[in-house]
A and B are shown apart, each in its own frame.
Chain A
Amino acid sequence: MSILVQTDACVGAGQCALVAPDVFDQDDNGIVLLLEPDPQGADLAAATRAVRLCPARAIALSTT
């Protein structure tokens, strides 16, 4: 599992950094920063939740 972010779609809502703070952060403009592209365990569960909650669909989970 790895996380992909599409920064040009990100709207800086911060849902990701709020629910998975060890996986995502935001830069000074609010745009998503990927801290951990390959999260494990509880971080993976949190990242999955962030994928679903992101209102811009700017994060995806890839199985490849």
Chain B
Amino acid sequence: MSSPARVVIVGASIGGLTVAESLRDEGFDGEITLLGDEPHLPYTRPPLSKQILAGEWQPEQAAIRTAAELDGLGIRVLTGRAATGLDVEARTLHTDDGALPFDELVIATGTRPRPHPVLAEASTLRTMDDALRLRERMETARRVAVIGSGILGSEIASAARKRDAEVLLVGRSGSLGFGGVGTLLSDELTRLHEQHGVELALRAELVGAELAGAGLAPNASGSTTLAFADGTSRAVDLVVAMIGGTPRTEWLAASTLDLADGVVCDHLGVAAPGISAVGDVAAWLDPITGRHRRVEHQSNAIEQAIAVAARLAHGGEGAQPVPLFWSEIHGTRIHAYGWFDPERPLAELPKTSDSPGTVSGSHDEAGELRGVVGWNAPPRDFRTARAAVVTTIRPLVAHS
């Protein structure tokens, strides 16, 4: 396979940047253009809900590469530039500032937070600008409600407790989720939040909100009274809604791509001839489950990017990404690697050190280890457990 001359990458964040860098790692010497609609050079998002919200880091610390480094790699970066349309046949990308022809296009546009249906004005968090706004509001908010029972809800609750605010964490489903691990860690997370003084309302449906004073306007003070389906209400100074993300495919609506949930791709990340997608926006075919699914983890974006770059540079297939996720909640480090069957409880695995952390595993029907979770785990034990995870392509559940 001959390598393409011009690669255009849409989305200048971890996924897009890693494609560009990895193309150079692979010896690709054609043109690389990386465009993104944010005003910033690529930065990492995981610190936004952790070090940045807690006030421990300045924005520069989340930056990944300097302009000089990108220049040195021969990567043309266009910031503040949005893709607005795609002509798959003509291999042309339309942007808010002209058209860009390409031989290969990589879509890495991520997701945006879904607005809360009852309270669209609530604060949310995806970008550096969101994080800086939220941080400012957290500095004065004494009573914070976080809506959303996923990892980001838990992390923001944790960041608000670090600042000693009263925190109410609101969910609907009755349990707390942890990415690909599903609700298997719900009891542990519940205990962790309770130990750190977070009030949990996990079966609470928000049905209305009344704004007093300047309400929820950015940087405003004033309180919001939240009304729940059971008739209770609660006044808070700040409401943050983290109820999941929507893939950013709006600019592709008129294209011929399959956008059933994000950009639908095969197991190599190919969406159409000459078009690939990586990261949070991409629904690759997962050979393990036989389904297309999006994985919203930093490591997934990186591994998919490396695999796509290898394929574009010299036709290699690259390794199938294995989900790897981490989080830090109230100072507890949680790592998850592999696949998890929500129907099967985790079983604690042996460890070699006497530290209080744990490593637990998820086994498939045949009794094989398919996923591991470290809870403040001794690093060596977690690595040993990881290495034992069976990552060959076989289904988690036998199909009838």
A13 interface contact, C-beta 8 A: yes
Q: Are A53 and B303 in contact (CB under 8 A)?
A: yes
Which chain B residues border A9 with CB–CB below 8 Å?
47, 61
Which residues of A (30-55) have their CB < 8 Å from a CB of B? Answer: 30, 48, 52-53, 55
Distance to closest chain B CB from A15 (angstroms):
7
Given the known interface contacts A14-B383, A18-B383, A48-B25, the answer about A56 and B378 at a Cβ–Cβ threshold of 8 Å is no
Q: Are B21 and A52 in contact (CB under 8 A)?
A: yes
Distance to closest chain B CB from A44 (angstroms):
13
Q: Are A56 and B302 in contact (CB under 8 A)?
A: no
Q: Are B21 and A13 in contact (CB under 8 A)?
A: no
A55 to B387, CA, bound (A): 18
Q: Which listed residue (A28, A30, A55) contacts B298, Cβ 8 A?
A: A55
Q: Are A52 and B18 in contact (CB under 8 A)?
A: yes
B46 interface contact, C-beta 8 A: yes
Which residues of B (310-359) have their CB < 8 Å from a CB of A? Answer: 324, 326, 328, 333, 335, 353, 355
Q: Which listed residue (B25, B46, B333) contacts A52, Cβ 8 A?
A: B25
A48 to B306, CA, bound (A): 12
Nearest to A63 among chain B residues (CB) is B72
Which chain B residues border A53 with CB–CB below 8 Å?
299, 302-303, 306
Distance to closest chain A CB from B341 (angstroms):
23
Q: Are A12 and B379 in contact (CB under 8 A)?
A: yes
Distance to closest chain A CB from B165 (angstroms):
24
B99 interface contact, C-beta 8 A: no
B380 interface contact, C-beta 8 A: yes
User: Which has the most chain B C-beta neighbours within 10 Å: A18, A26, A30, A53?
Assistant: A30
A27 to B378, CA, bound (A): 9
B111 interface contact, C-beta 8 A: no
Which residues of B (343-400) have their CB < 8 Å from a CB of A? Answer: 353, 355, 377-380, 382-383, 386-387
Q: Which listed residue (B299, B306, B333) contacts A12, Cβ 8 A?
A: B333
Q: Which listed residue (B18, B46, B303, B355) contacts A28, Cβ 8 A?
A: B355
Q: Which listed residue (A12, A17, A18, A57) contacts B326, Cβ 8 A?
A: A12
Q: Are B335 and A13 in contact (CB under 8 A)?
A: yes
Q: Are B302 and A30 in contact (CB under 8 A)?
A: no
Which chain B residues border A5 with CB–CB below 8 Å?
none
Q: Are A13 and B326 in contact (CB under 8 A)?
A: yes
A-B contact pairs, 14 of them (CB 8 A): A9-B47, A11-B326, A11-B328, A11-B333, A12-B379, A13-B324, A13-B335, A26-B379, A30-B382, A52-B21, A53-B303, A55-B299, A56-B46, A57-B64
B22 interface contact, C-beta 8 A: yes
Distance to closest chain B CB from A22 (angstroms):
14
Which chain B residues border A29 with CB–CB below 8 Å?
333, 379
B225 interface contact, C-beta 8 A: no
Q: Are A18 and B387 in contact (CB under 8 A)?
A: yes
B92 interface contact, C-beta 8 A: no
Q: Are A18 and B21 in contact (CB under 8 A)?
A: no
A42 to B36, CA, bound (A): 35
Given the known interface contacts A52-B302, A55-B324, the answer about A14 and B18 at a Cβ–Cβ threshold of 8 Å is no
A56 to B44, CA, bound (A): 7
A9 to B58, CA, bound (A): 12
Which residues of B (64-111) have their CB < 8 Å from a CB of A? Answer: 64
